[in-house]
Amino acid sequence: MKNLLHSARMLAGPQSSMMSTRYWKYLIRAVAIYPLTRRWLGYLMDDEQRAEMTRCNTQLLLKLQRPYIRKNISLREKLSILEAHYDFMDRHLTSHLRQALYQTGRLALGECVGKSGQRYRVELNPTRSFDKEGELMVCLIAPSNEGVLTRAVFSIRQDAGGYAMEIGCLQGPRRNLGNEAIKTATRDLHGLRPKNLVMRCLYDLAKQWGIQRVYAVAGRFHVYHTPFRRQRTISADYDSFWEELGGQLTTNGRFALPPEQPRKKLEEIDSKKRAQYVRRFSLEDDLSSSISEALAISTPPAIQSGQVLILQPAFLNRFHQAA
């Protein structure tokens, strides 16, 4: 009960009183599922690093009270996914990487340089406002930090004796960028669409972490695919894209994607486009190397108070030295 009251005060904020609507709304919902709430709060609060992570992102306290990844996930399954995800991250990310990710809000994975010379950043971020769709997201950032071109939100869960990556969201740019930014980026990245690039990055992460199975939410099972939730609309055709990647619809509202994304063989590509594909494959290979290096970092650079910690792999340093 101590954890419950403490979490309610944390969520309401230091300026709010115990009579605030947010405080009591959280408490009432938490008590209604108290056995699971107690287990989740114990999981978050009884570990020093997870407690600090929760202080940085109090949305974690609401996870059991909101839809999560797919509409048809039960409370117990939701809790199981959350615990498995953070246990997995504890084992596969160093404490410095977790600090960069959960406390400062982003972890640099790499950069792509388009044929125009423009740089596109790839980052791993906590989900924040996308917290109903997963725990982490891979984002492709437009040149000059203009905004996110594409993001994929996912969690790691236990599956058939191992671990799987489950994707709960794939989203394009906000209106300030629009579809024209996607077309421009596709041309600049040698014909590689931003959403395909982000999926390549997800597969690179899965490979680095030894994950063999990748799942993705079917469109009608997305957490926002309901007439009662008007804050967001789902404009992307999820199912068509998962099928394009070779996904197979399962009985529980998700697509099972292939364990890897095969490339076209050069001899099968029209000779007029072959050079473009060679450059595209080179870009993908460089980004894969960058992700591998980023996840291997164990010692952070010095950080001053108020700065954002961005751990940069050697791959990015090579770009900056050449610039």
In a domain, 43, yes or no: yes
In a domain, 55, yes or no: yes
Q: Looking at the structure, tell me whether residues 150 and 261 fall in a common domain.
A: yes
In a domain, 187, yes or no: yes
Tell me, what amino acid is at 17? S
* Closest by CA position to 136, among listed 100, 176, 179: 100
Q: Looking at the structure, tell me whether residues 127 and 261 fall in a common domain.
A: yes
216, β-bridge pairs:
167, 255
Mean pLDDT, all residues of the chain = 87
Q: Among 12-26, 264-278, 302-316, which is the least confidently predicted range? A: 302-316
pLDDT exceeds cutoff 80 at 234: no
Q: Looking at the structure, tell me whether residues 119 and 63 fall in a common domain.
A: no
Q: Looking at the structure, tell me whether residues 157 and 265 fall in a common domain.
A: yes
Domain containing 83 equals 2-92
In a domain, 139, yes or no: yes
In a domain, 318, yes or no: no
Q: What mean pLDDT do residues 209-238 have?
A: 80
Q: Among 13-17, 169-173, 202-206, which is the least confidently predicted range? A: 13-17
What the block records as the tokens of 11 is 């969520």
What the block records as the tokens of 118 is 């423009």
Cβ(194)–Cβ(152) under 8 Å? no
pLDDT exceeds cutoff 60 at 151: yes
CA distance 182 to 142: 9
**% of the chain surpassing 70 pLDDT:** 86
Indicate the SS3 state at residue 75. Answer: helix
Q: How are strands ordered across the β-sheet holding 148-159? A: 107-113, 119-126, 136-141, 148-159, 162-171, 213-217, 254-257, 248-249
- Please state, in angstroms and as integers, the Cα–Cα distance from residue 47 to each residue in 40, 51, 54, 58, following that order: 12, 6, 10, 15
**Identity of the highest mean pLDDT range in 139-148, 248-257, 311-320:** 248-257
